[in-house]
A and B are shown apart, each in its own frame.
Chain A
């Protein structure tokens, strides 16, 4: 037995002894400890962070616990349970609010012409479903997709330019910061004057809404890249393009993705502003139509659809973010409140 394997066996025995095990338990723990990635040279700071946790878990597990072969399946089951628990927790507040509203409206505590019961809104949605609701959803979604894409492409290009060049920052950033401060509705009259009431002003307004958070995310993300990583890259004599592609953009990705996520959520908001003013289709139009016909149920149905669509698109962005940033070593919160 060489010194490394002797140290490893010794460590496994020490772990097993700490749990005061029976002979069978001892043998089991040694199997589990061997299954874990070997700590290099037996030193504390050389133990991989990811490997340390399973070893500790093995030391505290009961003899009746799963064998190492079952461990991945058990971990998947635990992760699945935690995911469902999170979903249930997220639904708790809206479901409670809906139930309370339903009771309050049905009992007459709240007049139904001002706040219809959730079941009545559901009936309205079913009714709208038979009368072109999908067309309204499709029109709004397409506007958001097109406006967001235009805004995102411009924001990434200009944000990267400003992030990479101090001269470009001096030239462009003050103007962009001033434009960013303009409220969305202030653009509407100008866009109607310039572009009429067709699709163009709506797309431009949505693009404006999406542009600024993405621009900020890209520019500040690049400026926030750790100088030490750039110093490493300089050792390889990378060209500016290669440095941007291989170091700056990947390092700025967390900030860029946050910007994209915020930009998408603002694109939905700006879409409503655009459709409220001049549209014959879309969820904003439904809102406007509901107000004009004093149908609070239609207004609330449109609001509910906006919430659902916004949540779906945000969840998609969050999934992309999680996938792209799997490398990030960041705080994930605790289970406790």
Chain B
């Protein structure tokens, strides 16, 4: 299997505070990896560095073996909040990068179940619909890697489950490599081929868990044992 994204962070500091030290994470092509860890352990910092948004670190990010310098159209990013531009319609938000491909916008909105909301303003959407629009926007540049920073944490449990299934479907259909930051261990175990527990300044910084082959079922008995092991590692 080829490595789609190779993250190596020698050091990331905020002022005097060390957040990440000697963290190396490789994502195989088409793999879904969840990153979990305690608050402040460096998950979001790692994701921000991987996306190219944060360039103030020591280390290197490679995509298909080539070093990345800054943001790339090959990497999509979905934030914790939908972050839609409120003055643009849903379709204009999705096509923010380039409004010359209405067919792609239409297809993506259809994929996320927002066919009828192309002309709606963000204020007219529910939280779940807004996050669907954000997913469609993240897919518009047709990225090969999708980074998600706790994307479903602000929606209710039922919507979260629907959005999780939506993510699995689009990841499969678009053959995406996915790195997901989450606080929800059940979500990580359901969605991921690999769950990585991060403690940014520990040695080693990463501990891996393998939930087993997909498709996985919610509330699987084998997942309970893995969840207990993860909680144990988190000292919860």
Within 8 A of B (CB), among A297-323: none
Q: Which of A35-43, A116-124, A167-175 contacts B (4 or more CB under 8 A)?
A: A35-43
Within 8 A of A (CB), among B82-126: 83, 85-88, 96-97, 113, 116-117, 120-126
- With A48-B129, A228-B79 given, is the CB distance from A236 to B159 under 8 Å? no
Complex Cα–Cα for A329 and B120 (A): 13
Q: Is A250 an interface residue (CB 8 A)?
A: yes
Q: Is the CB of A232 within 8 A of B159?
A: no
- With A232-B79, A250-B87 given, is the CB distance from A43 to B71 under 8 Å? no
Q: Is the CB of B126 within 8 A of A49?
A: yes
Q: Is the CB of B128 within 8 A of A45?
A: yes
Q: Which residues of B contact A49 (CB under 8 A)?
A: 123-126
Looking at the complex, which one of A40, A51, A235 makes contact with B51 (CB distance below 8 Å)? Answer: A235
Residue among B71, B116, B126 with the highest chain A CB neighbour number at 10 A: B126
Q: Is the CB of B116 within 8 A of A37?
A: yes
- Chief secondary structure at chain B's binding surface: loop
Q: Is A69 an interface residue (CB 8 A)?
A: no
Q: Is A292 an interface residue (CB 8 A)?
A: no
Q: Is the CB of B156 within 8 A of A229?
A: no
Closest to A253 in B: B87
Give 1 or 0 for each of A31-67: 1 = CB within 8 Å of chain B CB. Answer: 0000001001111111111110000000000000000
Q: Is B25 an interface residue (CB 8 A)?
A: no
Q: Is A131 an interface residue (CB 8 A)?
A: no
Q: Which residues of A contact B126 (CB under 8 A)?
A: 40, 45-49
Closest to A46 in B: B128
Complex Cα–Cα for A328 and B111 (A): 27
Give 1 or 0 for each of A246-272: 1 = CB within 8 Å of chain B CB. Answer: 110011010000000000000000000
B194 shortest CB reach to chain A, Å: 25
**How many of chain B's residues have a CB under 8 angstroms from any CB in A?**
33
Q: Is A234 an interface residue (CB 8 A)?
A: yes
Looking at the complex, which one of A44, A237, A247 makes contact with B158 (CB distance below 8 Å)? Answer: A44
- Chief secondary structure at chain A's binding surface: helix
Complex Cα–Cα for A44 and B132 (A): 15
A24 shortest CB reach to chain B, Å: 30
Q: Is B59 an interface residue (CB 8 A)?
A: no
- With A228-B83, A234-B71 given, is the CB distance from A41 to B159 under 8 Å? yes
Closest to A4 in B: B113
- With A229-B85, A247-B85 given, is the CB distance from A40 to B79 under 8 Å? no
Q: Which residues of A contact B132 (CB under 8 A)?
A: 40
Q: Which residues of B contact A84 (CB under 8 A)?
A: none
Q: Is the CB of B128 within 8 A of A250?
A: no
Looking at the complex, which one of A44, A48, A228, A247 makes contact with B125 (CB distance below 8 Å)? Answer: A48
Q: Is the CB of B125 within 8 A of A43?
A: no
Q: Is the CB of B125 within 8 A of A229?
A: no
A-B contact count (CB 8 A): 90
- With A234-B71, A236-B96, A327-B86 given, is the CB distance from A40 to B123 under 8 Å? no
Q: Is A231 an interface residue (CB 8 A)?
A: yes
Residue among B86, B113, B132 with the highest chain A CB neighbour number at 10 A: B86
**How many of chain A's residues have a CB under 8 angstroms from any CB in B?**
30
Closest to B137 in A: A232
Complex Cα–Cα for A234 and B158 (A): 32
Q: Is the CB of A43 within 8 A of B53?
A: no
B141 shortest CB reach to chain A, Å: 8
Q: Is the CB of A41 within 8 A of B158?
A: yes
Q: Which residues of B contact A251 (CB under 8 A)?
A: 85, 87
Give 1 or 0 for each of A58-91: 1 = CB within 8 Å of chain B CB. Answer: 0000000000000000000000000000000000
Give 1 or 0 for each of B140-168: 1 = CB within 8 Å of chain A CB. Answer: 00000000000000011011001000000
Q: Is B186 an interface residue (CB 8 A)?
A: no
Looking at the complex, which one of B70, B124, B158 makes contact with A50 (CB distance below 8 Å)? Answer: B124
Complex Cα–Cα for A250 and B124 (A): 19
Q: Is the CB of B155 within 8 A of A235?
A: no
Give 1 or 0 for each of B41-77: 1 = CB within 8 Å of chain A CB. Answer: 0000000000101000000000000000011000001
Q: Is the CB of A228 within 8 A of B123?
A: no
Residue among A43, A235, A246, A329 with the highest chain B CB neighbour number at 10 A: A235
Q: Is B11 an interface residue (CB 8 A)?
A: no
Q: Is B81 an interface residue (CB 8 A)?
A: yes
- With A247-B85, A328-B86 given, is the CB distance from A45 to B113 under 8 Å? no
Q: Is the CB of A327 within 8 A of B127?
A: no
Residue among A44, A46, A48, A236 with the highest chain B CB neighbour number at 10 A: A46
A204 shortest CB reach to chain B, Å: 35
Q: Is the CB of B71 within 8 A of A40?
A: no
Residue among B83, B87, B96, B162 with the highest chain A CB neighbour number at 10 A: B87
A-contacting residues of B (Cβ < 8 Å)? 51, 53, 70-71, 77, 79, 81, 83, 85-88, 96-97, 113, 116-117, 120-129, 132, 155-156, 158-159, 162
Q: What are the 6 A-B residue pairs with the smallest beta carbon separation, nearest first?
A: A329-B123, A46-B128, A43-B158, A50-B124, A327-B87, A45-B156
Known: A40-B129, A50-B124, A235-B71. 20 other contacts (CB 8 A): A41-B113, A41-B158, A43-B128, A43-B162, A45-B126, A45-B127, A45-B155, A45-B156, A45-B159, A46-B126, A46-B129, A48-B124, A48-B129, A229-B83, A235-B77, A237-B70, A326-B121, A327-B86, A329-B122, A329-B123
